[in-house]
Amino acid sequence: MKTIDELLAEGVSGKRVFVRADLNVPLADGQITDDGRIRAVLPTVEALAGAGAKVIVASHLGRPKGAPDPAFSLLPAAERLGELLGKPVAFAQDTVGPAAHAAVDGLEPGQVAVVENLRFNPGETSKDDAERATFADELAALADVYVGDGFGAVHRKHASVYDLPARLPHYAGYLIATEVGVLKKLTDEVQRPYAVVLGGAKVSDKLGVIDNLLEKADRILIGGGMVFTFLKAKGYEVGASMLQEDQIPVVQEYLKRAEEKGVEFVLPVDVVVSGGFPDLKAKEPTHPDTVPADAIPAGQMGLDIGPATAELYAAKLADARTIFWNGPMGVFEHPDYAGGTRAVAQALLDSPAFTVVGGGDSAAAVRLLGFDENAYGHISTGGGASLEYLEGKTLPGLAALED
């Protein structure tokens, strides 16, 4: 795929450049709680604006139902982008309508505009090729050039990600180029030992990546809500912990395959439990208890890996040369259950390995727990996209940028 450096070498002064970013930031009461994805697209926007382009930034946010919804407006993201750029950013209150055209027509070289949430138009996410194509045609009318830099959306076959690049000269932005380079180090150019840490709520979300990593990783460490399906698969009782009973046979097969292939599957030896899920807003003390992983009492819910497991996992990561981490070890948003996630985050920092934090909740945890994100090898902006790449899937947004 062509990169933004090639575009800049060709010259962009006065050209309308459509940047498909990923500004899908978390909001609470209309305020951005983590601006990492906005900061991730800054190098691309700054380079284009600095070269005299008229920059049109577009993104989705949340899951509106194909119609305008104030709760999912990109205005807060546009305002934050302006603050980070240190200059005003125009905001269009529609995607391809009069406001968008007026905003773009009003741009001078070096200026930036953001159009409203792309998912306010049903054509963005439509499974109907013709409906997506119509919306892509309308987006293409706004620009002369396309730059794909929304890595968190490249696994979606959406109009602005998949169909639009075919209608304009297209290039990969700095973020996508970086993300793809990192993922190649996790698939084709791996330094060993290669350790993978997987957490999060549902084991079903990670089955594809586990299946593929059984062919690539040297050891796989499991935590988060998904771990209780693994513990149940080994015959342990898990109390009131999160459990996907229907996935137990699949998990048992993976454990068997791992043993046959010499891949080390590492599961918790102790668990932090409580009588119920904590109130994440109040964050009041919940009086948790630590129990052996094979002795979770009835009625108790596992909410984090225990301290002995945290030490074990740190030891398993200490000699790794490549580490990929996706998914927290527990309910990290509450201080009583953040210990396991904090320990893994610290273990990555302490390791000499090339470390990749795989987006989503893992990236949010690193920031929330106060770690220096620049100390990691890479923090991905796209959890789902990273996982699908590691599953070996073709990502529509990357395929669209290929020549």
Is residue 378 a known part of a binding site? Answer: no
User: CB count, 10 Å around CB of 87?
Assistant: 12
Q: Is 235 annotated as a binding residue?
A: no
Beta partners for residue 3, in sequence order? 172
Q: Is 23 annotated as a binding residue?
A: yes
Element at 54 (helix H, strand E): strand 54-58
Reading phi first (left if > 0) and then psi (alpha if -120 to 50, else beta), residue 316 is in: alpha
257 annotated ligand binder: no
Kindly list the strands in the beta sheet with 54-58, ordered across the sheet, starting from the edge strand earlier in the chain: 90-92, 112-115, 54-58, 16-20, 145-148, 170-172
Has 60 been labeled as part of a binding site?
Answer: yes
- The answer to whether 37 is annotated as binding is yes
Which amino acid type is present at position 295?
A: A
| Ligand-binding site membership of 82 (annotated) | no
For residue 168, give both structure tokens. Answer: 């304009």
SS3 25: coil
| Residues with active-site annotation | 37, 202, 360, 384
Binding site annotation covers 22?
yes
Residue type, 356: V
Residue 156, marked binder: yes
Percent helix, strand, coil in the chain (nearest 5)?
40, 15, 40
Residue 11 has phi, psi (to 5 degrees) of 100, 130
Tokens 């990929």 belong to: 324
Q: Is 333 marked within a binding site?
A: yes
Say which residue the tokens 């190098």 belong to: 43
Which sign does the torsion angle of CA 64, 244, 341, 272 carry?
Answer: positive
80 is in an annotated binding site: no
The three-state secondary structure class of 145 is strand
Q: Which of 197, 181, 190 is closest to 322 using CA atoms?
A: 190
How many whole angstroms separate alpha carbon 54 and alpha carbon 135?
21
Determine the Cα–Cα distance for residues 196 and 386; give it in Å rounded to an integer.
Answer: 13
CA distance 29 to 11: 42
Q: Which residues are annotated as a binding site?
A: 22-24, 37, 60-63, 119, 156, 206, 302, 333, 359-362
Q: Which residues are annotated as a binding site for ATP?
A: 206, 302, 333, 359-362
Q: Which residues are annotated as a binding site for substrate?
A: 22-24, 37, 60-63, 119, 156
